[in-house]
Amino acid sequence: MTAEKEPKASRYPWAEAPDWAEYAATDRDGEAVWYERQPRLSQQFGWWHVSYGGRQQSVRSEWPVPGVEDYKTSLEVRP
């Protein structure tokens, strides 16, 4: 008998995400953003960005996002 892995709890409210959102990440300042395409982290500035276009939108106006202790590991793919 093998133990099944439970899905990792998400820190983002995916049920509220726009249909186009495939990623979410939180910047160093605590702002969380939905992304249409996979963003990259700017180590210099501490924010996520998409250099080749695509939609993005703030997740919510409450900062910081609960559960994000380290913005560098905050990127999530839509479950």
Domain boundaries of the chain, sorted by first residue: 16-77
Let me know: does 76 contact 25? Beta carbons within 8 Å. Answer: yes
Pull the structure tokens for residue 23.
């990623």
Going residue by residue through the chain, which has 79 residues, state the pLDDT in tens, using 9 for 90 and above: 555 555 567 888 899 899 999 999 888 878 888 999 888 888 777 777 776 667 777 676 555 566 667 788 889 999 9
Q: Which residues contact 48 (CB under 8 A, 6 or more apart)?
A: 25, 26, 27, 33, 35, 39, 40, 41, 42, 74, 75
